Amino acid sequence: MENVDAKMRNVVFFDGVCHLCNGFVDAVITRDPEHRFLFAPLQGTTAEKLLPAQDRVSLDTVIYYESGRIYHRSAAVIKILSGLGGVYSLSRVGWIIPGLFRDALYKIVAKNRYAWFGHRDFCRLPTPQERGYLLP
């Protein structure tokens, strides 16, 4: 898929070696039958093309790219979940919680994610069904 196509789509950037992050990606993929989202590891070439350098240095956050805007941490999660529609639209309620508090909790989980959930020695490989979702 060309970079131009990625810019027109909603791209979820994640830590490709984190089990928690990969679990989140798996959960979104299975709940996204309309294929609203594409996914790319923060360590990949799509991240190099679409994200500023400072967003690629720290791998402790999910980043959501939508129509040229970039969302980090809890804001990214809320945007992604609410974008799934249905019952996940209720996640919009999260916006009433100040970002400072949402991100404080997010940072605690992010800091401990490898210890709590483990990590891989390499980025995830897509299944044949996922190949259309995952960008390099």
CATH number for the domain whose boundaries are 3-117: 3.40.30
- pLDDT score recorded for residue 133: 73
The 10s digit of each residue's pLDDT in 43-80 is 889 999 889 988 888 767 889 999 889 999 999 999 99
pLDDT above 90 covers what percent of the chain?
Answer: 35
Element (H, E) at 112: helix 99-117
Residue 99, amino acid: G
Element (H, E) at 117: helix 99-117
- pLDDT score recorded for residue 1: 38
The 10s digit of each residue's pLDDT in 13-52 is 987 666 667 778 888 988 988 889 999 888 889 999 889 9
